[in-house]
């Protein structure tokens, strides 16, 4: 095992972390930063992530330390791959399971063929409206803060690119998928819009980020495993 030093973390490390369910991306960064500081007895070190994952999503987070935090924008711009599940026949205000179902819709008319054909509408460059429950800022406030305060706000559509949208399993009301997409794509919005296009409703019930550029979640470790590994290296 190669022992990492304080100088390694200051010069810059790229850490591949598999974010657990319910953890926020900010919690992962805080956990790693705190442990690096405690391990080496220092007061400050730069640590940041290259692309937020929602608390109800799992999967790949790229964490940069020290001087490598300057590379964060470079990693954020790379293509992402996700796998997940869309539940048809119901919508939620957050487009996922963070909020309760607000409307239900029929799904009797939805065939496998219709599902496969509808994915074609969501391949290539598409216009997408981000969810109101998102970290985007509007007039200095996060959209999720506005939503939780019960306020309404106009959200502009943005153009994103879906390179691949593959249906991997159909077991209605659940549809399992794999998506390769550009920076800025909201898979929650894709799930919601997909439900609408099927003349029904839909929300994201499971999501896992599997790749960012050439980085794979198969090479990532969970935060607590990183902590244990660093402890072993330094003991």
Fold of 80-212: Pseudouridine synthase (3.30.2350)
Going from the C-alpha of 211 to that of each of 85, 111, 166, 172, the distances in angstroms are 17, 30, 15, 27
**Distance, CA of 169 to CA of 190 (rounded, Å):** 17
Reported confidence tier of residue 145, pLDDT bands at 50, 70, 90: low
Domain ranges within the chain, ordered by starting residue: 6-77+214-234, 80-212
pLDDT score at 61:
98
Spatial contact of 51 and 76, defined as CB atoms under 8 Å apart = yes
Options 3.90.25, 3.30.70, 3.40.50, 3.90.1720; which CATH number does 6-77+214-234 get?
3.30.70
Give me the count of residues in the chain: 235
pLDDT tens-digit series, residues 58-114:
999 999 999 999 999 999 999 999 999 999 999 998 899 988 999 999 999 999 999
CB under 8 Å to 129, separation ≥6 — which residues? Answer: 155, 156, 157, 158, 189
**Distance, CA of 208 to CA of 59 (rounded, Å):** 5
Q: Is the pLDDT of residue 138 over 60?
A: no
CB under 8 Å to 168, separation ≥6 — which residues? Answer: 83, 176, 177, 178
Reported confidence tier of residue 115, pLDDT bands at 50, 70, 90: very high
How does strand 158-171 pair with strand 14-19?
unpaired
Reported confidence tier of residue 228, pLDDT bands at 50, 70, 90: very high
Annotated active-site residue 139? The verdict is: no
Q: Which of 8, 18, 54, 102 is catalytic?
A: 54
Task: Note if the pTM is more than 0.75.
Answer: yes
């Amino acid at each position: 095992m190669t022992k990492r030093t304080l100088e390694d973390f200051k010069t810059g490390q790229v850490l591949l972390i598999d974010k657990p369910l319910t953890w926020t991306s900010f919690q992962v960064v805080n956990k790693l930063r705190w442990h690096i500081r405690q391990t080496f007895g220092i007061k400050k070190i730069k640590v940041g992530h290259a692309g937020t994952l929602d608390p109800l999503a799992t999967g790949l987070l790229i964490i940069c330390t020290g001087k490598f935090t300057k590379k964060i924008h470079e990693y954020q711009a790379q293509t992402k791959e996700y796998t997940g599940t869309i539940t048809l026949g119901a919508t939620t205000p957050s487009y996922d399971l963070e909020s309760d179902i607000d409307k239900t819709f029929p799904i009797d008319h939805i065939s496998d063929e219709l599902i496969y054909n509808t994915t074609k509408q969501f391949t290539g460059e598409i216009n997408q409206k981000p969810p109101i429950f998102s970290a985007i800022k509007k007039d200095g406030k996060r959209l999720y803060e506005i939503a939780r305060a019960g306020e309404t706000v106009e959200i502009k559509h943005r153009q994103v690119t879906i390179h691949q949208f593959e249906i991997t399993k159909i077991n209605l009301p659940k549809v399992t998928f794999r998506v390769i997409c550009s920076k800025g794509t909201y898979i929650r919005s894709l799930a919601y819009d997909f439900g609408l296009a099927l003349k029904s409703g839909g929300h994201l019930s499971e999501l896992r980020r599997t790749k960012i550029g050439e980085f794979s979640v198969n090479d990532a470790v969970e935060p607590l495993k990183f902590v244990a590994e660093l402890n072993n290296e330094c003991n």
